[in-house]
């Protein structure tokens, strides 16, 4: 927590936005990235970097038969099935549900 707060205050003082993964399928950081970048550009703000980490490059001996030698760190099937789940969230102090 202290590390994140330190990064938050450094970013705030530098007029930099940090958007970290918050663990929802699909990741909210990925879903909102395009709209966020478009909004920042429309405000004439310059995006100097956008980095997203997901998956990884497996060891060569583990990559045989894997297209592009790449493995996801999450299950695409899990993401698609999660899209069918309902959710609850708080907005304006009220608990709402989306099914």
Whether the Cβ atoms of residue 67 and residue 61 lie closer than 8 Å to each other: no
> Of the candidates 85, 68, 67, which has an alpha carbon nearest to the alpha carbon of residue 25?
85
Ramachandran sector of residue 77 (left: φ over 0; alpha: ψ -120 to 50; beta: rest): alpha
Q: What pLDDT sits at residue 8?
A: 84
Query: Who wins on pLDDT, 66 or 61?
Result: 61
- Report the range out of 15-19, 54-58, 70-74 with the highest average pLDDT: 15-19
- What percent of the chain is predicted at pLDDT more than 70? 66
Query: Who wins on pLDDT, 87 or 45?
Result: 45
The pLDDT tens digits of the residues spanning 12-45 come to: 899 887 766 655 555 566 667 777 888 888 999 8
Catalytic machinery residues: 25
Give the distance from CA 85 to its chain's centroid. 19
């Amino acid at each position: 927590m202290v590390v994140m707060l330190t990064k938050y205050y450094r970013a705030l003082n530098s007029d930099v936005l940090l958007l970290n993964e918050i663990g929802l399928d699909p990741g909210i950081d990925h879903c909102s990235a395009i709209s966020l970048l478009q909004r920042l550009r429309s405000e004439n703000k310059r995006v100097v970097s956008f980095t997203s980490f997901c998956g990884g490059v497996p060891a060569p001996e583990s990559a045989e038969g894997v297209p592009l030698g790449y493995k996801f760190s999450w299950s695409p099937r899990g993401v698609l099935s999660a899209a069918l789940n309902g959710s609850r969230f708080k907005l304006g102090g009220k608990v709402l549900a989306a099914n």
